[in-house]
Amino acid sequence: MSVGFYRQTPLRANEMKESEQRQAAAALESELGRPPRAVTGWPIVVELIAPRRKGTAVNAVVSPHPWEKPELLNATPRAQLSEQLENDRRSGKQAAVLQKLAEWWLNQTRDGHLRRQLDERSLRKLREIPGISWEMADRICLFALGAAIAPVGRAALRIGCRHGWGELESDREEWQHWLQQWAAAVPLELSQLVAWIDQVGERWCGPRPKCDGCPLSAFLPPGGPREPEGSG
């Protein structure tokens, strides 16, 4: 996959040593395991944008779901799509953005084949879709297309800053480079590393870190997690 979108610059703070990258990945794997390889392709886009809510009943079953295929989704009137999403415990408000994404996805398809190789233009068009954050665009590229683009979210920033592996002032490309380098050093699929980072963020490394029991606690700097101003 093209990684031409990256400026290959290291983070300004202490770089993670290769041995630390391997050990931290081993600790993550031992605690979190390696879930079966994520499904790639259009269904992941729907799961990222309009995940099913937990704990509420499905009102009506529509088969096939219009969001299962981008062509079908685009051909469904928006109000109807919104209602069907709600019936499937998904946010109907996401109908508009899903249709824009379906359009983008179809433009990535030629002669029935999806072009997984992204160029700067198609990446820019994805990032320009209203309602799609830069991070979400990168998530779509990584998890749906398999492009080696690292989404940088709150979890990565918190973990990186608290361990001194990066600084808040570092720019997005520097953070992406940190994640890419870590995955390459192990070696590990970037999507696996990002999935682990997300899980650590969800379970332990939220606004207030719960370091006891966290698989990364052995890699904290002396004195415990650093808390740069504005990182919460």
Quote the CA–CA distance of 160 and 169 in Å, as a whole number: 12
Asked whether the bond before 35 is cis by omega within 30 degrees of 0, the reply is no
Of the pair 112, 207, the CB lying nearest ligand SF4 is at: 207
The two tokens of residue 208 are: 């207030």
Residue 211 C-beta: closest distance to ligand SF4, Å: 3
C-alpha distances (whole Å) from 102 to each of 53, 94, 128, 132, 188 are 21, 12, 14, 13, 30
Quote the CA–CA distance of 46 and 35 in Å, as a whole number: 20
Q: Which of 13, 1, 44 is CA-nearest to residue 166? A: 13
Of the pair 53, 210, the CB lying nearest ligand SF4 is at: 210
The phi and psi torsions of 44 (rounded to 5 degrees) equal -70, -35
Residue 221 C-beta: closest distance to ligand SF4, Å: 10
Q: Is 113 in a helix, a strand, or coil?
A: strand
Residue 210 C-beta: closest distance to ligand SF4, Å: 6
Of the pair 89, 226, the CB lying nearest ligand SF4 is at: 226
Residues lying near ligand SF4 in the complex (CB under 6 A) are found at 159, 162-163, 200, 204-205, 209-211, 214, 216-217, 220, 225
Residue 25 C-beta: closest distance to ligand SF4, Å: 13
Residue 51 C-beta: closest distance to ligand SF4, Å: 24
